[in-house]
């Protein structure tokens, strides 16, 4: 993923998960599909606000909407999260390498200190 540009539009998974309310909606949907009304009842913000959050999540393809009668059921689509995971993986490897280097340095310093005693 080196030298790739990450765009931040309203239809981007990165933008969608940047908001804590949208992350909470995704967490709810991890447990199973829910109608819009049940999702909205889980939050203190207004129903129109939740509708806007759901619209962003749909635009980023993180959720699918299905009309069943008068209800709109929302289902989690984790596939776009792979893009985020791939981006985060670079940082995970970076920190693992740096922490391993720090551990080695500290152990060498401790061994040198003990050898002087």
Whether 4 is covered by a domain: the verdict is no
Answer whether 0.75 is exceeded by the pTM. no
With beta carbons less than 8 A apart as the criterion, state whether 99 and 50 touch.
Answer: no
- Does residue 42 carry a pLDDT above 90? yes
Whether 55 is covered by a domain: the verdict is yes
* Domain CATH for 99: 1.10.10.10
Whether 39 is covered by a domain: the verdict is yes
Q: How far apart are CA 24 and CA 17, in angstroms?
A: 9
Looking at the DSSP bridge assignments, the partners of residue 71 are: 68
Task: Domain count for the chain, please give it.
Answer: 1
Q: What is the pLDDT of residues 66-113, one digit of tens each?
A: 999 999 999 999 999 988 888 889 888 888 888 888 888 888 888 888
Residues 4-17 have a mean pLDDT of 69
Whether 80 is covered by a domain: the verdict is yes
Q: How confident is the model at residue 1 (pLDDT cuts 50, 70, 90)?
A: very low
CB atoms within 10 A of CB 13: 19
Q: How far apart are CA 2 and CA 90, in angstroms?
A: 9
Whether 6 is covered by a domain: the verdict is no
88: containing domain = 13-116
Whether 88 is covered by a domain: the verdict is yes
Exposed e or buried b per residue across 30-67, where buried means at least 16 C-beta atoms within 10 angstroms of its C-beta:
eeeebebeebbeeeeeeeeebeebbebbbbbebbeeee
Whether 1 is covered by a domain: the verdict is no
Whether 2 is covered by a domain: the verdict is no
């Amino acid at each position: 993923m080196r030298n790739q540009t990450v765009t931040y539009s309203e239809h981007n998974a990165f933008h969608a998960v940047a908001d804590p309310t949208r992350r909470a909606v995704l967490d709810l949907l991890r447990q199973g599909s829910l109608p819009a009304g049940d999702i909205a009842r889980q939050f203190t913000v207004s129903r129109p606000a939740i509708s806007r959050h759901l619209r962003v999540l749909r635009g980023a393809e993180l959720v699918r909407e299905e009309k069943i009668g008068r209800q709109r059921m929302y289902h989690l689509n984790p596939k776009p999260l792979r893009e985020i995971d791939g981006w985060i993986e670079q940082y995970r490897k970076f920190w693992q390498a740096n922490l391993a280097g720090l551990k080695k340095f500290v152990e060498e310093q401790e061994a040198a200190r003990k050898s002087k005693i």
